[in-house]
Amino acid sequence: MLHIVGSLMLAVAATSDVAPDVPQGQPDILVKTRQPVEVGVNQLDQWVMVDSQGLEIALPTRGIRFARSAAIAKAADLELARTIGLDRWLRVELADDVDATALRGLLAAMPQVEHAEVDVYGGLAGGFDDVDDPSFSQQWGLLNTGQVVQGVAGVPGADANILASWELSTGGDPIVIATLDSGAYAHQDLVGRVVAGWNVPQESSNTTDTCISHGTSVAGIIAANTNNSTGMAGICWTAQIMPIVVVDPCNGYESWVADGLIWAVDNGADLVNMSLQYEDGIQYLYDAVVYADSLDVPMISATGNYDSDISYPGKWAETIAVGATMNTDLRWSGSNAGLEIDLVAPGYNVYSTKLVSSYGFVTGTSFSCPAVAAVVAMMRAHDSSISSSDLRDIINSTARDIGLSGYDQWTGWGCLDAGAALETVLSMTVDGDLNGDGSVNGADITIIFSYWGECPSDCPADINGDGSVDGADLTILLSHWTF
């Protein structure tokens, strides 16, 4: 026999077990049912939903501390609220030791539930334009408000939309980015961000910058410590820089680049930045590029600074070739162009790290290239299974068109849009991720078994769509197991 729900809610609310709505602790789960229900506790002390016919539907037996209607009492226009379905929302509060994501999956799998989601805690918009790095306002490529940089007034919004990406992710699991360059100084803003690398010309582990801070500036754009009350902000907050010296001091043989690329891939680089320009591409270097590509290591390359054809290695299709823009949302005049270009990114008067404690402005496709590398690292950090070719497609398809409509040989697919790229990656689903938490794990198996057997056409556990949940669906799920 079911207790009257209204009385139950008053009784439960009077106990000491009901916590007020506070931002700490477990987030609530919001559940939208397929038809209006009431919620309460039956005589067995189980949380249940009760439909209009009096049918009692048990909720998961553990983990729910309190449940109530979420919205209908707050809606002034009840007819409109019912049309939208606001009268079908429930708010479920959880015990402290419960995995909110797993419980959400169990609730979402119930036939009576249309949708279930973990509540999200946030705040006022604009938090990331208040990072405490003192020179952040100079970094127009991250946030262009129209500020004057080096005497040039910018165009608001003419940036790489980095702040929008930070709202989604500031890096995730550490990604090792090999910078095939001139090395890196032990800069104050790169503390903890540099791992062991290699000096190809010297055949040594000495990776101190050999060329007027070129490699140090590249590293800073990618990975300078952010929100540390010092200097500037790096784009990927968790990236690790693997400096590979391939010049002596500022120029070098293409074979050195090839050797450095092979060394980086063989020693754990997840991604490679090549802020380099060569007029000819030797076969040995191309073979090294093919080697890295075959191992699914993304390579981001500069287009070059001669206002000419695309330079190597960026000319090869296996790389993502990046040109440079100015704070006025125009292509920088020195940025090489051609049909091999993928996209452009801020590269004119870009602020970055120099020497061991200095900062300054640098210009060139060498410095637009690492902005793309940092965003690709953030994408890979979220989902390591995304292939290099798919990463390229996402970066290009989400770019903000700034030149001629569509693709053109001067700006490619447009300017890097980090926010759109990250949003695309986060929205991608994997076969077997039945509860939408980004992983395929035990919670998804629980959902599989809760639907085992014949299943209706909208059954969330019928992965292969054959009308039943069986061993074939379980096999697909296990093939995508991530946690």
> What is the pLDDT tens value at each position of the chain, 483 positions in all?
333 232 222 222 222 223 333 345 677 888 889 998 888 888 888 888 888 888 888 888 777 888 777 655 455 677 877 888 888 888 888 888 888 888 888 898 999 999 888 875 443 333 455 689 999 999 999 999 999 999 999 999 999 999 999 988 888 789 999 999 999 999 999 999 999 999 999 999 999 999 999 999 999 999 999 999 999 999 999 999 999 999 999 999 999 999 999 999 999 999 999 999 999 999 999 999 999 999 999 999 999 999 999 999 999 999 999 999 999 999 999 999 999 999 999 999 999 999 999 999 999 999 999 999 999 999 999 888 899 999 999 999 999 999 888 999 999 999 999 999 999 998 775 667 777 666 678 887 888 888 888 876 567 788 777 788 888 878 877 877 765
State residue 120's pLDDT score: 59
Q: What is the 3-state secondary structure (H, E, C) of 169-203?
A: CCCCCCCEEEEEECCCCCCHHHCCCECCCEECCCC
> What are the Cα distances from residue 376, in Å, to 84, 267, 308, 373?
39, 19, 26, 5
User: Which one-letter amino acid corresponds to residue 214?
Assistant: H
User: Which one-letter amino acid corresponds to residue 295?
Assistant: L
Say if CB 144 and CB 415 are below 8 A apart. Answer: no
State residue 25's pLDDT score: 64
Q: Which of 169, 311, 366, 368 is catalytic?
A: 366
Report pTM: 0.68
Nearest to 313 by CA among 344, 291, 334, 282: 282
Nearest to 316 by CA among 348, 347, 276: 276
Whether the upstream peptide bond of residue 313 has omega within 30° of 0, thus cis, is yes
Secondary structure of residue 287 in the 3-state scheme? helix
- Decide if 366 is catalytic: yes
Q: Which of 133, 181, 189, 417 is catalytic?
A: 181
Number of Cα atoms under 13 Å in the Cβ half of residue 431? 13
State residue 169's pLDDT score: 86
Say if CB 328 and CB 155 are below 8 A apart. Answer: yes
- Decide if 181 is catalytic: yes
Q: Which of 214, 217, 352, 473 is catalytic?
A: 214
All domains of the chain in start order, with CATH: 5-118 (no CATH), 127-427 (3.40.50.200), 442-479 (no CATH)
